[in-house]
Structure formats: structure tokens, C-alpha cells
Amino acid sequence: MSAPRREVASTPGRTVPAGDHAPQTAPAASHPLLETRGLTQRFGGLTAVADLNLRVQAGELVALIGPNGAGKTTVFNLITGVYKATAGEIRFDSVSIGGMEPSRIHGLGIARTFQNIRLFADLSVLDNVRIAHHARTGYGLADALLLTPRLRREERRVMEETLALLRTLGLDELAGEKARHLPYGQQRRLEIARALASRPRLLLLDEPAAGMNPHEIGDLMEFIARIRTEFGLTILLIEHQMKLVMGICERITVLDFGATIAEGTPEAVRADRRVLAAYLGEPDEGAVSGAAAGGGDGSTDDPGDPHGRRHDPTDAGSAS
């Protein structure tokens, strides 16, 4: 079992109270930031997630990959409280969050983006981000009705924080635009901005690179690396674009039919035979050809080899 070993290794780290100020350098905490135990979700006869044991240490960047329909987004929906798990447990910073209201889970420090962008389309960029401040804005309905000094103070604070965040992410000039009028890439970025507005500790990104070309994916990788250090984030992401997954993620968990079929470093996962089988058995290969190709590198006699022709050599470069 790996748990005791981790505990021993982290004992010195626990005596240093400043350890969690630089979480991305060493996961010193004895318990993971996010942990699922035997997480299971059934929809009728379909098991979307089966006995998932996921551990994400503070400061880590972990990818959740798998063929379409493997249950990845369901995992996000379980963590964020959209679904109540059929069985199993989810712990965030040692607090059991299974069955909690989504807004409360958000308040504990988990924010996410969506596979299909879900912005508040008819509201301004500014309001999209300010809505994420709702729960942390300290005034009540009476303050709102009477425009009390407290409301003015809080609104000013929220406005300053929001504009600063938009400036950091290069969206400040678009503050007054309606979200629906932004170009696609900026909409993705705005969704991340909205997620960051609540200063989350854990950020869940659901296919952040969907619909992006290789050049944009390169930008996105830099962007993710940047916000990770700037905001001291732990990131769990779902992605089909293997360039991104292999390029920036430290650990990868592979799901297929709701079950974990592999787990480990990018190198270990791309060489795993079950992963290859899972991807190559999938008729829809467009999105995952990168993975097949990546695996093809490891074992040239693999049936997935023909896909290697489509493999972009820069992928290997960024992966290593």
C-alpha cells in the first residue's frame, strides 16, 4: 500500500509550517488534497464510474484521460456535487464532500470549467466573473436595498479584484462585452477566469484544449503553467489532446468504462498495453490519435503503429 509509505516520507515536511506556501514544489501534506475512495456512480444499468480511487496531492497537476464515454466528466460532476455518488467517498482536504450542495463545495475551494463552455452568455465579462464572488461578498439583501456603505465597500472590493484578475488573464479590455460576443478562445479563458475568481485551491478543467489548434494548445499549456504558479493551484484536468497531457501533467489516471485501467507518470501510461487497447478499441479515433501515436512510439510492433504517421514529432519533444 502506498499510503503508509507516503506518510513516512512526508513526516519531516509536516514539522515545517510554511510547507503549504509552496505546494507545487513538494506535496508535503500527509493527506492528499483530493481523494476518492471506491467512488461509484450508476445511471440505471450503466455504471459510469466504478470504484474510482483517485488521489491528488496539493500542488500536483494530474490528468484524467480515457476514451469518449469513459466517465471522466461524471467524475467531475461527482466531485463538484452535481451528482450524488451511488457509493464511495470524496474527500477534499480531509473533509468529506460527498452529498454536499455544489455551491458549498465551491466555497470550500473547488472550481471548474466545462467541456462545452457554459458562460452567462448575455451578461458582460465583468459580471461573469463577479458572479463567482457571490458567496464571498459580505452583505445582505437589506444592504442591497438601502445601498449601505458596507455594500459600497464590498462592491468596490469585488470590482477591484475582478478587474485585477481580468488584467492578469488579458481580458480587461473586454470587461464590458457580452460573453457571447467573445471569440471562442477568449470564452474558454473567461471560463477559467470565472473559476479563478473564487481563489480555488483545486481547479478542475474539463477539456480546456477542445477545438484548439496545436499552436493554441501551446499557448494554453503556458497559460495553465502560469496560473498554476500564480494562483498556487492544484489542477485536475480532463483532456484528449495528448500534446497537452503529456506535456504538462505530472501524473495521469486513465479511465475506461468507468474504471481505472492505468495510473502513473506520462511515460509509464503511454507504454501501458491496457491504455493502448482501450484507445485503439475505440472506433472514434480522431481525438485520441495522439495517444495511440504516443503509445506507438514505445512499442513499434503495436497494432496502433499506422497512426504513428499522423504523429507530430513535436509531441515527443514536449513530452520528454
Partner 1 sequence: MRASPLLQVLRAWTGRIQRPFLRAGDSLAAQRRLGLVLLGLLAALCFLGAPLGLLDDYQQLLFMYAGINVILCVSLNLVNGYMGEFSIGHAGFMAVGAYASSLLTVRALPEGGAWLGPVAVLAGGVAAAIAGLVIAVPSFRTRGDYLAIVTLAFTMIVKSGLENLEWVGGGRGLAGMRKLTTLPWVFAWTVLAVAAVRNIIYSRFGRAIQAIREDELAGLLSGVETRRVKLIAFTVSAFLAGTAGALYAHLVLFITPRGFDLLKSTDVLIMVYLGGIGSILGSVLGATIYTALLELLRPLGVWRMVCLPLLLVLLMIFRPQGILGLRELPWLVPRRDRDAVRRRGPRGSDEQGRSSVSDATGDST
Return the residues of window 238-257 that contact partner 1 according to CB under 8 A.
Answer: none
Distance CA 136, CA 198 (A): 8
Return the residues of window 83-122 that contact partner 1 according to CB under 8 A.
Answer: 101-103, 106-107, 111-112, 114, 118-122
User: What are residue 206's DSSP bridge partners?
Assistant: 238
161 near partner 1, rule: CB under 8 A? no
Residue 174's identity, in one-letter code, is L
β pairing state of 110-112 and 34-43: unpaired
Let me know: does 248 contact 221? Beta carbons within 8 Å. Answer: yes
Let me know: does 257 contact 50? Beta carbons within 8 Å. Answer: yes
Distance CA 240, CA 287 (A): 6
170 near partner 1, rule: CB under 8 A? yes
Minimum CB separation from partner 1 for residue 205, in Å?
13
Distance CA 297, CA 304 (A): 10
Q: Report which secondary-structure segment, H or E, holds 242.
A: helix 242-248
181 near partner 1, rule: CB under 8 A? yes
Cell of 299: 512499442
Minimum CB separation from partner 1 for residue 17, in Å?
29
What letter does residue 263 receive in the DSSP assignment?
Answer: E
By CB under 8 A, name the one of 11, 25, 149, 173 that touches partner 1: 173
14 near partner 1, rule: CB under 8 A? no
Distance CA 273, CA 65 (A): 15
| Site size with partner 1, rule: CB under 8 A | 66
177 near partner 1, rule: CB under 8 A? yes
Which CB atom, from 40 or from 198, has the smaller least distance to partner 1? 198
Return the residues of window 289-308 that contact partner 1 according to CB under 8 A.
Answer: none
Residue 283's identity, in one-letter code, is P
By CB under 8 A, name the one of 20, 51, 155, 305 that touches partner 1: 155
Which CB atom, from 179 or from 278, has the smaller least distance to partner 1? 179
Residues of this chain that interact with partner 1 (CB under 8 A) are 80-82, 101-103, 106-107, 111-112, 114, 118-124, 126-127, 130-137, 139, 141, 143-147, 151, 154-156, 158-159, 162-163, 170, 172-173, 175-178, 181, 183-186, 194-195, 197-198, 210-213, 215-216, 219
